[in-house]
Amino acid sequence: MTPLYHPPVKRSVEIAGHKTSISLEPLFWDMLREAAEREKAPINALVARIDAERIASETPPGLASAIRVWLVTHRARQLAPPGTLTD
């Protein structure tokens, strides 16, 4: 098991036919893989969706930050009782 406090790991993903590198801590790579499996989508497709949401936001963060926020928000919505979290 990867230690909880581990420096970011850089990996390549492809978004709309373009390769880009993203640095995330192993914990977030694991969460991203799990989310992609739950949604029955490739990691690249999920990252592309997060990227599109990020770009459309009023103040777009960097892609790695957007992925972290998306993952934490997604996990919180899964764990919260119905009707307690809003956008």
pLDDT digits (tens, 9 = 90+) for 1-59: 677 889 999 999 999 899 999 999 999 999 999 999 999 999 999 999 999 999 999 99
Q: ∠ CA(82), CA(72), CA(48), 5° rounding?
A: 110
| Distance of alpha carbon 13 from alpha carbon 9, whole angstroms | 13
Dist. CA 4–CA 85, nearest whole Å: 27
**pTM reported for the whole predicted model:** 0.86
Could you give the CA distance from residue 51 to residue 67 in angstroms, rounded to a whole number? 8
Q: What is the pLDDT of residue 76?
A: 87
Domains present along the chain, CATH in parentheses: 9-79 (1.10.3990.20)
